[in-house]
Every structure is written in C-alpha cells, then in structure tokens.
Amino acid sequence: MKKKFKNTIFLLFAILIIISYLSSCDKRVESNHWIGAWNAASTDFTLFKVKYKNQTIRTIVTSTFRGSKERIKISNEFGIGALEIGEVSFAVVNLDGSINKDLSKEVTFNGNPNVTIGKGTFVWSDPIELEIKNLDKIAVSIYIPKEVKNITGGCGGAEAYFSQEGNFINAIDTHKNFKSISENRIPKVSPFFTAIEVITSKENGSIIAFGDSITTLVWPDYLAKELNSSNIKNLSVIREAIGGNRILHNSESALHGLFGPSGVSRFEKAITDHQGAKYVIVLEGVNDIMHTGPGGPAPKSEIVSKDQIIDGFEKYIELAHKHNLKIYGATIMPFKGYEVYSDELDVKRREVNEWIRSNGKFDGIVDFDKATLDPNNPLRLLPEYDSGDHLHPNDAGGEAMAEVIDLKFFK
C-alpha cells in the first residue's frame, strides 16, 4: 500500500512538472510574437549622393503600438561594403521635441554596443526594455564612425536629422545638435533604421499599408489615430511603401533602384516578413500609368494596359489570401495638372478604378479617389487636399483618406 501511494505521489509530481513545462513553453512562444510598430520598406538612396562620417543620424517616428520590450532593424541591404555602427540609442520624445532622458536606452547587438553589418544584409537589435505607448514619438540615434556613401533607408512617417562631427546619440536637444536631412535637399527619409517591433500577445497584429509615395505620406498615420480613437487597440499600422514604385516594373535604371523592385516581386515578402500581419491595404498603379507619359522616366516599352494592371492586382489578391490576410483595394486618385498628365492616361486610371470598385475579388474597397477628388473637376484633387504638385495629397488630404476607410474591416 505504501509503495502504491508513493508511486501515485510520484506520478502526480511528474504530471505537475510536465504541465509546468508546457506552460513555460507556451509563454516562450507567446514572448516571441513580434509585431511591427513602425516600418519603412528598404530602398537604395545612392541617387541622393550623400555620405556620413563620424556623425550621428537621428530619426524620429511614431510608434503605432504599445509595448514594454522592443527591437529595431538597421539595414545595409543596398550597401556596397560593410556598415559599421558605433553606438545606438532608443528614446521616447517629449512634446517639445526633446529626448525624455528617463525614457531612453542604449541599444545592444548580441550584447555589444557596436555592430558591423555586411553588405546586402541587416540586423535586429537585442530586446530594448522600455515602456512605450500608442502614438509615442520615438527617436533612434545611430552613430556612424566611418564613412558611408551607399545608404540604405526607407521613407514614410519619419523625421531624420544629421549631426555635426561626433557621437550625439544621447543629446537631449535635437534642434540644437542636429540639422534636418530634408534641409540637405533630400526628402524626409530614414537612413539605415527601417523598423521597430514590439513583443505582444498573439491576438494583436498589423495592418500593412502597401504602395508608393502617397503611402509614404500621412494617411497611414491618420489611420493609426482613427483606430486609437475608436478603441481598436489590437492593431498596429505599418508601411511597405516605396516612392515611385510600380506594380509591374522595377525602378527605371536611370534612377539606380530608388523606386524599388516591382510591386508583384516584393509583395509576398512584404506581407510575410511581419508576424501577426492580418490585413493589407493596397494603393498602387498611378506610377504604372504615368511613368510612360510625356516626360515620364520610363521607356515606351514599359507602357502597360489596364488589363495588365488588373492582372497585377489579382496577383496581390491571390498572395494575400494564400497567407490568410484580408486585402482591401484602394482606388487611384486623380492627378490632372501633374507634369506628365494626359487625358489618355486618365482614361486608363478610371478604367482601373471601375474594376477595383466592381470586381468583387478584394475583401473590401477603399475609395480614395472619391474621398479626394474635386466635385467640380473630378479629374483633379480637391484644392484643399493638394500638396501643390496635383498628385500628392497634403496632410488634410491624408486625413480625409484615413477617414474614408471603413473601420468595420478590422473588427
């Protein structure tokens, strides 16, 4: 009897150990669920002909998700040599633009403050333990000790600055110690730093905004604000957008890859690189239409028909559904008045839009065309939404675009 009792006790003890082990395994799996809080699609900035040496690059972005453990991605995917990173810091930004010194951490890579990134590659940092909230401004400061000429970076939701000579990763006053990169005749970009991810539970995920230069602008930021104010707390908004990108063709050779690989060649990687991606909104096609227009950068051999553009959208739909994402198609916005506009090109735009609205293959439609056009001249952007070039919307236009997105798509 005593032996039987001891065996029972031993069996119960063994079961408890197994249950505890399985529970810890679940926690380990849970703790490795990273989702994007901010992202910029990597592209080649060689065309800008800039270089950095013994300088600090500070990029300020908005985190679209909360967390207490983060990591960042630094890319040298288009570098022609190794990229040496001296030191990096990660900090919350105060309302006045200064760094919150109580919410600042130095970043490590495999336990080291510095890292060398081989050409054509990227690195993720070690986890950074810092409490951040939805819509917090985050500053990532990277010290570059040795000269770098071929720069990998991304566009979208970023303010980037460069310092005078020296290591300024812990400088509190950004405006005192740095100059805006956009003042150096370069658009607002994010050199080297291309992503923030946070650890969270598995019910949380991301909306991917996939597209071209219009998606590098502010409408994804306003969508994040719309979600936050509507108490939809389980989703971040991240970009996979490249200025000048086309659905069907790679960047024109004269532009040295600045406009990136074609949408159809990068789409699957873009939607599967992010754990927890649940939805994708696609706004593309205007560059396929107008880059072969009068004065456009593409050769006439790359003129595409509306049916070819539609084939590209169908490929996006097929890939999104293959990976269990819902995909929402956005109509192409008007661009009359832009430097390469022609009535013939606009016919193609409207034909593609008609297919987007009526095809029934997307999981839903986002009518950015209707949201931004001038009712008195529907081939043009509403003047209040026009940035001035008659193609890209301003901040008010971006807000109007976000407001027309049906949040029921994400509930």
Which pLDDT score is estimated for 7?
53
Taking residues 95-110, what's their average pLDDT? 97
Task: Say which residues have a Cβ less than 8 Å from residue 25's Cβ, sequence separation at least 6.
Answer: none
Say whether pLDDT at 30 is over 70. Answer: no
Which pLDDT score is estimated for 339?
94
Which pLDDT score is estimated for 407?
98
Taking residues 33-43, what's their average pLDDT? 97
Taking residues 81-91, what's their average pLDDT? 97
Which pLDDT score is estimated for 11?
53
Taking residues 235-256, what's their average pLDDT? 94
Say whether pLDDT at 365 is over 90. Answer: yes
Which pLDDT score is estimated for 31?
59
Taking residues 170-176, what's their average pLDDT? 96
Nearest Cα neighbor of 266 from 283, 289, 241, 285 is 241
For the record, the structure tokens of 251 come out as 């960047």
Say whether pLDDT at 21 is over 90. Answer: no
Residue type, 244: G
Which pLDDT score is estimated for 9?
52
Distance CA 162, CA 330 (A): 36
Q: Which of 113-127, 169-183, 334-348 has the lowest mean pLDDT?
A: 169-183
Which pLDDT score is estimated for 294?
86
Confidence of residue 16 (pLDDT cuts 50, 70, 90): very low
Helix, strand, coil % over all residues of the chain, rounded to 5:
30, 30, 40
Which pLDDT score is estimated for 81?
94
Cα 170 to the center of its chain, rounded Å: 26
pTM comes to 0.91
Q: Which run of H or of E encompasses 18?
A: helix 2-31
Q: Which of 136-140, 184-188, 318-322 has the lowest mean pLDDT?
A: 184-188
Nearest Cα neighbor of 64 from 243, 293, 238 is 238
Q: Give the up-direction half-sphere exposure of residue 68: CA atoms within 13 A in the CB hemisphere.
A: 2
Distance CA 228, CA 327 (A): 21
CB atoms within 10 A of CB 19: 10
Which pLDDT score is estimated for 50?
86
**Following DSSP, what letter does each residue of 303-355 receive, concatenated?**
---HHHHHHHHHHHHHHHHHTT-EEEEEPPPP-TTSTT--HHHHHHHHHHHHH
Q: Give the up-direction half-sphere exposure of residue 66: CA atoms within 13 A in the CB hemisphere.
A: 8
Q: Which run of H or of E encompasses 343?
A: helix 343-358
Which pLDDT score is estimated for 162?
96
Which pLDDT score is estimated for 255?
85
Which pLDDT score is estimated for 295?
87
Distance CA 305, CA 288 (A): 9
Q: Give the up-direction half-sphere exposure of residue 19: CA atoms within 13 A in the CB hemisphere.
A: 6
Which pLDDT score is estimated for 411?
83
